[in-house]
């Protein structure tokens, strides 16, 4: 039963044969299958045996009443909607039925038309309920994938920067080891931006074959190259109005870097094999797990493109620098895995958390997520034990290469991470934008996604012509 007019299985309960005949006749004319019984006991046997979409039941019957039926269904965990039929003068029965969970009531004598309407409405409610449940499960899944967990100082500061830069159009460079959540950060920037309802498009520069990156970014005209049988829109076009994530930008070929730089400068490009310039409004976010500055120094990355991308840098901290986030992350992944594979999530033994906080997690959060998922699947009891995890993780915990001490804010380790002070971040972004544009304030302002006046204010530069 997925549509309104689809056949439903309806169980009718009435001790008066005459009423039963009317019910059966009306329901079959409306295209439904119906089963008629004359007592609650019989009805309970039917629902135990066959799927029933809806029950139409008399309130007053010699043995158990309609109210008893509602109670029994509830007690045994059935969620079948029930329409109760009551005598014309017994409105209090109708009220009681609704209070006990009936979806609707009908007064006797039953009229074919009112019955049909009540049945149709009840079935629609069931359909919506099911649809709702499906959506809810989907949403839980999607949210789970996007939820960012962590409340270590390091993590919170990075999230604060996300919140600040999200509102602007400024290009963000996310630098961090693989598995530290760069894509998740990028998604969070988009989700918190005024572009949240517009597209979020990702191009992974490392995963695509070299020859395909260009057409993936800019699209191509029909016949542009062998195999280009139709015109295709590239990521820049599809991201129009929204955000384009250039994932693992360090892997982009030098000639494409030049092309990308031109697009960023001019906000327009051509499809491969095309001549028509296409204008787009796209906010760029790039990620890299290599040190991009070092790539520049080694001549593998264009320094002008680097400055263009590095307007607001955010460094995603490795997991070993925020071990205090591990308990929450483990909890998050345990719940997620249990949801995915069904079953109640196991609880987590304190020893388990202890060893997980001693392992250095070279693959960062991604490695932790995989390890936890595996452990949940292998876990035999109700408690997640250290033995549910790989030997390698337990061994490392027994002989930690480095003490499991989290660097304190202000320590040497924290100092080489980005300065998270918001004013400092803003100042840095402005300096970089100015450097990238050779000191051109109007272009720098555009890069930063603010007006030139705002930029002048921030720089404490008086306007060219004073109005006073
Ligand atoms: N703070 C976090 N909270 C919850 N899940 C996270 C977090 N950081 C990363 N993950 C998860 O870890 C995996 C790797 O994240 P991803 O963004 O792909 O990392 P990267 O792009 O840096 O390699 C993903 O499944 C992601 O959902
Ligand atoms: Mg990634």
Residue 126 belongs to domain with CATH number: 3.40.50.2300
Any idea what the CATH number is for the domain that residue 232 is in? 3.40.50.300
- Distance from residue 180's CA to the centre of ligand 2 (Å): 8
Same domain, 344 and 258: no
Select from 405, 340, 414, 412 the least CA-distant residue to 377: 340
409-442 as b/e, with b when 16 or more CB fall inside 10 Å? eeeeebeebbebeeeebbebbbebbbebbeeebe
Same domain, 300 and 236: yes
**Domain count within the chain:** 3
Task: Compute the distance between CA of residue 385 and CA of residue 351 in angstroms, rounded to an integer.
Answer: 7
Residues of the chain with pLDDT under 70: 1-6, 140-141, 143-145, 399-421, 462-468
Same domain, 231 and 358: no
Per DSSP, the three-state class of 182 is: helix
- Distance from residue 365's CA to the centre of ligand 1 (Å): 6
If one residue of 366, 367, 368, 372 were mutated to test the ligand 1 pocket, choosing by the most ligand atoms within 8 A of its CB, it would be 366
184 CA closest ligand 1 atom index:
17
Residue 403 included in any domain: no
Same domain, 257 and 356: no
Helices (H) and strands (E) in the chain, counts: 20, 14
- Closest ligand to the CA of 178: 1
Structure tokens at 443: 């272009």
- Cβ neighbors of 231 (< 8 A, separation 6 or more) are 219, 220, 221, 222, 271
Residue 466 included in any domain: no
pLDDT at 6: 66
From 398, 423, 443, the end of a domain falls on 398
Which residues form the pocket of ligand 1, taking CB atoms under 6 Å from any ligand atom? 148-150, 176, 178-184, 332, 365-366, 369
- Closest ligand to the CA of 317: 1
Same domain, 211 and 108: no
Same domain, 114 and 134: yes
Residue 426 included in any domain: no
Question: H helices within 147-177, ranges in order?
Answer: 153-166
- Cβ neighbors of 78 (< 8 A, separation 6 or more) are 47
Give CA separation, 387 vs 378, 391, 396, in Å: 10, 8, 13
Same domain, 173 and 134: no
Query: Percent of the chain having pLDDT more than 70?
Result: 91
pLDDT at 377: 87
Which residue has the CA at smallest separation from atom 24 of ligand 1?
366
Per DSSP, the three-state class of 171 is: coil
Q: Which protein residues have their CB within 5 A of the ion that is ligand 2?
A: 183
Q: Is residue 37 within 8 Å of residue 46, measured between CB atoms?
A: yes
pLDDT at 406: 41
Same domain, 291 and 306: yes
Q: Is residue 212 within 8 Å of residue 226, measured between CB atoms?
A: no
Residue 157 included in any domain: no
Task: Compute the distance between CA of residue 38 and CA of residue 14 in angstroms, rounded to an integer.
Answer: 5
- Closest ligand to the CA of 319: 1
Any idea what the CATH number is for the domain that residue 376 is in? 1.10.8.60
Terminal-residue alpha carbon distance, the chain: 74
Phi/psi for 134 (5° steps) reads -60, -45
Same domain, 263 and 179: yes
Per DSSP, the three-state class of 139 is: helix
If one residue of 150, 183, 184 were mutated to test the ligand 1 pocket, choosing by the most ligand atoms within 8 A of its CB, it would be 184
pLDDT at 408: 42
Domain of residue 27 covers 9-141
- Distance from residue 104's CA to the centre of ligand 1 (Å): 48
Q: Is residue 417 within 8 Å of residue 315, measured between CB atoms?
A: yes
- Distance from residue 149's CA to the centre of ligand 1 (Å): 9
Same domain, 81 and 104: yes
From 398, 426, 456, the end of a domain falls on 398
Burial class (CB in 10 A: 0-12, 13-18, 19+), 194: exposed
Task: Compute the distance between CA of residue 461 and CA of residue 26 in angstroms, rounded to an integer.
Answer: 82
- Structure letter (DSSP) for residue 314: E
155 CA closest ligand 1 atom index:
1
Residue 448 included in any domain: no
Give CA separation, 337 vs 134, 143, 151, 316, 340, in Å: 18, 14, 21, 24, 5
pLDDT tens column, 227-265: 788 888 899 999 999 999 999 999 999 999 999 999 999
63-93 as b/e, with b when 16 or more CB fall inside 10 Å? ebbbbbbbebbeeeeeebbbbbbbeeeeeeb
Which residue has the CA at smallest separation from atom 10 of ligand 1?
181
- Distance from residue 174's CA to the centre of ligand 1 (Å): 13
Same domain, 293 and 332: no
Select from 41, 83, 84 the least CA-distant residue to 60: 84
Structure tokens at 170: 């400024």
- Closest ligand to the CA of 176: 1
If one residue of 145, 179, 289 were mutated to test the ligand 1 pocket, choosing by the most ligand atoms within 8 A of its CB, it would be 179
Residue 63 included in any domain: yes
pLDDT at 463: 54
User: Per this entry, what is the length of the chain?
Assistant: 468
Structure tokens at 300: 């593998």
- Cβ neighbors of 332 (< 8 A, separation 6 or more) are 144, 147, 149
pLDDT at 161: 93
Residue 445 included in any domain: no
Give CA separation, 297 vs 77, 255, 256, 291, 292, in Å: 67, 17, 18, 10, 9
Same domain, 264 and 223: yes
Residue 195 included in any domain: yes
- Distance from residue 52's CA to the centre of ligand 1 (Å): 44
From 340, 372, 398, the end of a domain falls on 398
Q: Which H or E element spans position 36? A: strand 33-37
Per DSSP, the three-state class of 130 is: helix
If one residue of 206, 365, 374 were mutated to test the ligand 1 pocket, choosing by the most ligand atoms within 8 A of its CB, it would be 365
Structure tokens at 123: 């079935």
């Amino acid at each position: 039963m997925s549509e309104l007019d689809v056949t439903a299985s309806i169980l009718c309960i009435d001790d008066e044969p005459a009423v039963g005949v009317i019910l059966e006749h009306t329901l079959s004319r409306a295209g439904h299958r119906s089963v008629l019984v004359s007592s609650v006991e019989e009805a309970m046997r039917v629902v135990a045996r066959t799927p029933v979409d809806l029950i139409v039941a008399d309130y007053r019957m010699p043995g158990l009443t309609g109210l008893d039926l509602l109670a029994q269904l509830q007690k045994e965990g059935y969620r079948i909607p029930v329409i109760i039929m009551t005598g014309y003068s017994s409105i209090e029965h109708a009220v009681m039925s609704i209070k006990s969970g009936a979806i609707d009531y009908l007064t006797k004598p039953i009229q074919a038309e009112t019955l049909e309407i009540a049945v149709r409405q009840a079935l629609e409610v069931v359909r919506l309920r099911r649809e709702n449940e499906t959506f809810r499960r989907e949403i839980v899944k999607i949210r789970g994938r996007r939820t960012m967990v962590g409340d270590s100082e390091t993590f919170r500061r990075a999230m604060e920067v996300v919140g600040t830069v999200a509102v602007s159009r400024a290009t963000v460079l996310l630098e961090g080891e693989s598995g530290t959540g760069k894509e998740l950060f990028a998604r969070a920037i988009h989700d918190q931006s005024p572009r949240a309802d517009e597209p979020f498009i990702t191009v992974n520069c490392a995963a695509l074959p070299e020859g395909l990156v260009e057409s993936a970014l800019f699209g191509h005209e029909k016949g542009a190259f062998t195999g280009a049988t139709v015109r295709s829109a590239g990521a820049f076009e599809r991201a129009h109005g929204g955000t384009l994530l250039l994932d693992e930008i360090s892997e982009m070929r030098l000639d494409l870097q030049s092309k990308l730089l031109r697009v960023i400068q001019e906000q327009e490009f051509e499809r491969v094999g095309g001549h028509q310039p296409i204008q787009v409004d796209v906010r760029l976010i790039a990620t890299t797990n290599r040190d991009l500055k070092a790539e520049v120094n080694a001549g593998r990355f264009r320094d002008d493109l680097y400055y263009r991308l590095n307007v607001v840098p955010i460094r995603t901290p490795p997991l070993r620098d925020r071990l205090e986030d591990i308990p929450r992350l483990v909890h998050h992944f345990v719940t997620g895995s249990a949801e995915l594979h069904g079953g109640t999530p196991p609880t987590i033994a304190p020893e388990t958390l202890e060893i997980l906080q001693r392992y250095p997690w070279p693959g960062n959060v991604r490695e932790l997520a995989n390890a936890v998922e595996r452990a949940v699947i292998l876990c035999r009891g109700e408690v997640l034990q250290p033995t549910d995890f790989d030997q390698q993780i337990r061994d490392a915990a027994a002989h930690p290469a480095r003490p499991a001490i989290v660097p304190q804010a202000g320590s040497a380790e924290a100092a080489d991470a980005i300065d998270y002070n918001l004013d400092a971040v803003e100042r840095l972004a402005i300096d970089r934008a100015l450097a990238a544009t050779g000191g051109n304030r109007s272009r720098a302002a555009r890069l930063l996604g603010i007006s030139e006046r705002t930029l002048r204010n921030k720089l404490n530069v008086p306007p060219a012509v004073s109005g006073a």
